[in-house]
Amino acid sequence: MPRRFQLAALLAVAFCAPMAMAAPPSEAQIDRLLEVMRAEQTATAMIPQVMASQQQMIAQLTQDADPQQREAAQRAAASSMRAVESALSWESLQPLYRKIYMETFTAEDTEAMVTFYSSPAGQNLLDKMPLLMQNTMNEVQQLVIPMLQQMERDLRSELANDPASPAD
């Protein structure tokens, strides 16, 4: 009797296991999700922001440089920006997004998200997401800037007190 019970339990587990494992989403499901989430538009909108940030960083780094150094920095930056633009293009990002989403979500998850993001509430969320991200970045900057300023003061103080540092 116990042997039959073991066999029945083993068969039950063997037949139920495939049902318990969630099906992965298809590429078509992921592509539909990325479409309703406006992933391509979001990625494309990110490029000018990254470039503007890079330009601002170069301007800060070269503020004390002579015109030739600034021009050289701008040439280097232009090359770097082309590389960034290529790396952040939708053609480059789409396969990554597809892979990550397929590894992360089930077909059921994907369908639920497509339903949500296709709804007025989902579209409203997507409409507000850039503002949410901007507001978040502003608040994080307010939190981080004083820490960075303190770190700069600490580094300057440490360098001023370091006997191995070159004298000005």
In a domain, 164, yes or no: no
Tell me, yes or no, whether 93 and 145 share the same domain.
no
In the three-class reduction of DSSP (H, G, I as helix; E, B as strand; rest coil), residue 37 is classed as coil
pLDDT tens-digit series, residues 28-47 = 999 999 999 999 998 888 88
In a domain, 144, yes or no: yes
Which domain range does residue 152 map to?
A: 123-158
Using a 10 angstrom Cβ sphere, with 0-12 exposed, 13-18 middle and 19 or more buried, the burial of residue 140 is: exposed
Tell me, yes or no, whether 86 and 133 share the same domain.
no
Question: Whole-number mean pLDDT of the chain?
Answer: 85
Residue 124: count of CB within 10 angstroms of its CB:
10
pTM above 0.75, yes or no: no
- At 19, the pLDDT band (50, 70, 90 cuts) reads very low
Predicted confidence (pLDDT) at residue 89 exceeds the cutoff of 60: yes
In a domain, 72, yes or no: yes
In a domain, 9, yes or no: no
Tell me, yes or no, whether 35 and 98 share the same domain.
yes
Using a 10 angstrom Cβ sphere, with 0-12 exposed, 13-18 middle and 19 or more buried, the burial of residue 120 is: exposed
In a domain, 32, yes or no: yes
pLDDT at 125: 96
Total domains in the fold of the chain: 2
Tell me, yes or no, whether 74 and 135 share the same domain.
no
The H-assigned helical ranges of 62-106 are: 67-87, 90-104
Tell me, yes or no, whether 58 and 82 share the same domain.
yes
Tell me, yes or no, whether 32 and 53 share the same domain.
yes
pLDDT tens-digit series, residues 35-83 = 999 999 988 888 888 888 888 888 888 888 888 888 888 888 888 888 8
In a domain, 3, yes or no: no
In a domain, 167, yes or no: no
Tell me, yes or no, whether 82 and 134 share the same domain.
no
